Every structure is written in structure tokens, then in C-alpha cells.
Structure 1
Amino acid sequence: MGDWARGAADSGAPVTVERDPARVAAREELLRPEYHRHDPSLLQRVINWIGDQLGQLLDKLGGAAGDGWTGLIVFLALFALLGAALWWRLGRPGRTATTAGALFAADGPRSAAEHRAAAQRHAAAAEWSAAVREQMRALIRSLEERTLLNPRPGRTADEAAREAGRQLPEHAAALADAARLFDDIAFGDRTADRTAYQRLLELDERLRRTRPLLQVGAA
């Protein structure tokens, strides 16, 4: 310790050491959302944690299961818990697997305004699944009308979200969530509600107020 630092310590004054600017800058850079765009969702992390815990318990009970009824009962209880978790996560056995289908129907192109009007009619009738589908279509059609997306028949919601996310990176995560919501409701077993519709409606409004990211070197 130098004379100045020793004198400061003797006097009772706090001695501060400046942070390494490079370390601080690196930590702040890693906190940016684009580095965590593909991180597992909270639900997936919870499921992974439960699976790890069950695996550890089964390993510990491997010997106890042969000692008597106690180990067998605990083993069966854990097996039932795992089955319930899989039922909740994947749905009832024998259901049709969720697949991503085309975003737009093949009954001819409709404008974003027409899709929004249809979504509003469904919402007024509390037909939330139909309202979510139409609102997502309005959102993507609006991006096509603004030339942020090239119209392409057969495009899925997930494909449209990825392409739009490159033009509007600050909304990439929200677009990906909206695409998953659309697929779960349109092609899966998820039930829509007012909250789901409101999420897409608010995202549509934000996107309409957002200007695209200018590409470097573009004319």
C-alpha cells in the first residue's frame, strides 16, 4: 500500500479502487437482450429443474426401492408426479401433434385493416381464438404493406416473426412470442382469452409506430 493509501486508511477515509472499465463494458454488453433472445423460457427452465430434481431423487432411491414398501411407494409417487407434469406440458395422450401451419388462409389476400376489423368483431363477441388469429394476420399484413416483409404465400407465423425481427430488432423477442402464441392457439390445444388478444393488439400498435432499422450500406 502506498503512502497516500496508508495515510487515507489511517485517517479513516474510505479507500476506493476504480473499476476496470473494460470489465464493466463487457458485463453491460452481455446484458443486452439480443444475447439472450434464444435463452430457454421461464417455463422451460422450471421443467428442466423439475426433471433434474426427479432424476437425482430416483438415483438416491435406487437402493431404497429394494428395502421395502417405503421405497416402492415413494418411487410410484414420483412416477405419478412426472406423468402429471408431462400431461400438463404435452396435453392428453393421442392428441394431434401441434404443427405450424400457414399464417394466411387460401381464400384470397385481405388488407391489414380488414384483418383488424375482423379481429375486433370476434373480440366483441368474446371469440378470443378467432380474434387472436385475425389480429396476428393483421400485424403481419401491416408489415407487408409497409414493405418490411415481402408477401410470400404459405409463410408461417414463426417465419414471418423471424424475418420481421431482423428489420425491427427491438421487437424481435415480442414477435417471436406472438408467433408462438398464434401457433399454440391456431394449431394446438391452447385456449385464447382477452389477455392474449390484448397482447397482440398492443404489439400491433407499437409496430405501427416503429420505424425500421436502416441497413448499413443500403441505398
Structure 2
Amino acid sequence: MTSIEIDRDAAHDAAQNELTKPIYPRASPADQIVDWLRDLLYRITAAGSAIPGGWFTISVLVILFVVAVVVAVRIARRTMRTARSANQALFGSQELSAAQHRSIAEQYAAQGDWSAAIRHRVRALARHLEETGVLDAVPGRTATELARDAAAALPALSTELFSAANTFNDVTYGERPGTESAYRAIAALDEVQAQ
């Protein structure tokens, strides 16, 4: 009887070939996932027991991490909202009252500059809703956000509010020309609120 020297790679290949034969049972994919999860849970449990304070320490650290993430997200959202450029904000850089915006809108309307008249009339509407306490003043609010917030407070005017916001966006960002009829619709909405 002669002995045959088999190197490590050859032995590995031979074992793999043997185990692929149908006579050996194979774990189903579900069983493999369950085994992997058990192994992961065991490793986590072992690691948790090695930390001073055990699971209490881990729980406190996880809670602190979650709180930190929530605070960071809120700060980031607030910063993004207030860091918008003046062109995107509804009011831009001007701080005028609702009456002042209405007056400016009427001056532009008299000149036939319907785009500028629309912008100032929507601003008058927004400022009036803030002055009367219907809405909280929010720096950097867009026309769409105005419509959404105002529609929540005044659901009967939801359609008109979103139409005014879309018109504002069209003339401000879409560079579409304003029309007298669009201005008159927004003015009527503003006058209803001003009464």
C-alpha cells in the first residue's frame, strides 16, 4: 500500500466535491439566514457582556446617539430653510407690512407690470396672514409653503391659495408674464382675507 501526498489545496477541493454530492443534506436559504442571525446575536451578546456596565451602558449610548441624530437633523433642516437665498424666499430682503405690499402692488398694476404686481400682492396676503396671527412668521417661507400652511388653517380657500402660489412661482421663477386676470384673482383672495 502506497501513500499519496495531497497538498492542502487538493484536499480542500476534494472535500468540496464530496460535500456537493446529493447524499449530504444542505441547509435551505432560510436556515442559513437563521444560522447567520443566531451567530450575529451571539457575537453581539458576547461583545455586550465584555463592556463595563454591560447592556445598560450600551442602551444609554444608543439612546444618546439617537437623540444626537434627531437634534442634528432638526438643526440641519432649520438651517437649510433659513439659508435660502433672497430670490427663493417669498418676501426677499424687504420687510414691509401687508398694507405697504398692497400699495406697491396697486402701483405696479396701474403701470401694467402684472408680474411685479402679482409678487407684491401674494406678499401682502402672506404678511396679512402673519399680522393677524393666522400663520406664524417664518423667515425664508416660499409661496408653496405659504399655500400649504395657510390651506391647513383655512381649508375653504385651499384651491385659491395654491393657485396664487403657483402664479407667484410662474412669474418669479418660471419667467412667465403675469396677467391682469391672475392679478385680480390674487387681489380678490387678499381682499377677502383683509376684511
TM-score range, shorter chain: 0.5 to 0.7
Q: Which position in structure 2 is the counterpart of 1:123? A: 109
Q: Which position in structure 1 is the counterpart of 2:192? A: 206
Alpha-carbon shift at residue 130 of structure 1 (Å): 0.5
Per-residue CA deviations over 1:95-137 (Å, capped at 9, x if unaligned) read xxxxx92101113x11000000000000111111100000000
1:179 is aligned with what amino acid?
A
- Is structure 2 residue 127 aligned with structure 1 residue 141? yes
Q: Which position in structure 2 is the counterpart of 1:102? A: 89
For structure 2, the residue ranges without an aligned partner over 5 or more in a row are: 1-86
2:144 is aligned with what amino acid?
D
Alpha-carbon shift at residue 205 of structure 1 (Å): 1.3
For residue 154 of structure 1, the aligned residue among 120, 136, 140 is 140
Greater shift, 127-136 or 187-196, is seen at 187-196
CA distance in 2, matches of 1:151, 1:191: 29
For structure 1, the residue ranges without an aligned partner over 5 or more in a row are: 1-99, 210-219
Corresponding residue SS for 1:110? coil
CA distance in 2, matches of 1:193, 1:204: 17
CA distance in 2, matches of 1:162, 1:110: 22
Alpha-carbon shift at residue 159 of structure 1 (Å): 0.3
Q: Which consecutive segments of 4 or more residues in structure 1 shift more than 6 A?
A: none
1:157 is aligned with what amino acid?
A
In the comparison of the two structures, how many residue pairs are matched? Answer: 109
- The TM-score, its normalising length taken from structure 2, stands at 0.54
Alpha-carbon shift at residue 196 of structure 1 (Å): 1.1
Alpha-carbon shift at residue 201 of structure 1 (Å): 0.3
CA distance in 2, matches of 1:189, 1:160: 20
Which structure has the greater CA radius of gyration?
A: 2
CA distance in 2, matches of 1:128, 1:160: 21
1:141 is aligned with what amino acid?
R
* Greater fraction of residues in helix: 2
CA distance in 2, matches of 1:129, 1:178: 12
Alpha-carbon shift at residue 207 of structure 1 (Å): 2.2
Corresponding residue SS for 1:106? coil
CA distance in 2, matches of 1:116, 1:206: 13
Per-residue CA deviations over 1:56-78 (Å, capped at 9, x if unaligned) read xxxxxxxxxxxxxxxxxxxxxxx
Q: Which position in structure 1 is the counterpart of 2:70? A: none
Q: CA RMSD in A?
A: 1.2
CA distance in 2, matches of 1:208, 1:168: 14
1:197 is aligned with what amino acid?
Y
Alpha-carbon shift at residue 167 of structure 1 (Å): 0.9
Per-residue CA deviations over 1:164-186 (Å, capped at 9, x if unaligned) read 11111100111011101100111
